Amino acid sequence: MTFAAGYNFLTYASIFSVGVPIAISLVKFRKLNRVLWCLLIFLLIGGLCDAVCVIYRENNALLNVFLNVFTILEGLLIFYIYKLELRKNKIIAVVFTFFSVICVWQFFILKQISVEDTVVSTMEALFVILLSGLYFHKQLSDDNITRPAKFYFFWINLSFLFYFGAGLLLFATNDFINRAPMNIASMLWGLHLLVNIGCNLLFAFGTWKIQKY
């Protein structure tokens, strides 16, 4: 199997893997809280985006628009999820403001929304890693929490950390990857898709945990 073939396989696998946490959300429909509703919307948009990327992979400009819009929506949705969980409104407000300013600057002032982006996605990854760390800190410093793994959001937080931790380097070297030979690009983005599949499974596990929460 070539890298390209492997990448194609992983693309479809990644799209279908989104179905796992969505399916579990539908099973646990009645028990979903606001966080999991936001996560469901995030997964649906993500799955949609992946599908669109497959369909429009030849049209770079349109593809970039979809990807950049998705990045904005993804970021805002994830920050809102952390606002609900962390309840640290000031920090979220600062992150939200910074991210919005960077988006506006990159997509409407410095460049265009139809141009490939590295900066916004990298900043998004950094913000999410920061918020993820804050959640772990909150669990660590709360003496009433003795079994963190029994909380559903522990797994969702871990998933975000894996995805954006691994993705940070890939987003930052996006330019290089897109100019690299096909097999190298396929291998690197394939790795990203593999992590994506793993993260979707963690989302599914976290959503399943809501029964015992």
Partner 1 sequence: MENPKILALIIVLSVLAILFLITLVAMNFLLSKRKILEKENKLKDLENRTKIELIKTIVEVEEKHKSEIAKDLHDQIIPVLTLKALNLKTHITELEKGEKNYTEIRQGVDEMAALADDIREIVHGIVPKMFTSFGFIKSLETLITDMSSVNGSTATFKDNRSNGKEIMLTQIQQLTLYRTCAEILNNLMKHSKYNYLEASLEDKPGEILMTFAHDGSGITNQEIEYLTMAGSGIGLKSLQSRILSLNGKIDYSIEKGVSFIKLKIPTSNGIKN
Chain residues in the site for partner 1 (CB under 8 A): 136, 139-140, 143, 145-149, 158, 161-162, 165-166, 168-170, 173, 176-177, 179-181, 184, 187-188, 191, 195
**Minimum CB distance to partner 1, residue 161 (Å):** 6
Minimum CB separation from partner 1 for residue 154, in Å?
9
Which CB, 89 or 178, lies closer to partner 1?
A: 178
Q: How far is the CB of 28 from partner 1 (least distance, A)?
A: 24
Q: Pick from 121, 15, 20: which is nearest to 68 by CA?
A: 121
Percent helix, strand, coil in the chain, to 5, is 85, 0, 15
Closer residue to partner 1, CB minimum distance, 82 or 154: 154
| Least CB distance to partner 1 at residue 136 (A) | 6
Q: Are 4 and 188 in contact (CB under 8 A)?
A: no
State the Cα–Cα distance between residues 88 and 70, nearest whole angstrom. 25
- Decide whether 41 or 134 has the Cβ nearer to partner 1: 134
- Integer Cα distance of 167 and 190 in angstroms: 12
By beta-carbon proximity to partner 1, the closer residue of 107 and 154 is 154
Cα–Cα distance, 210 to 34 (Å, whole number): 12
Q: What tokens were used for 65? A: 């628009």
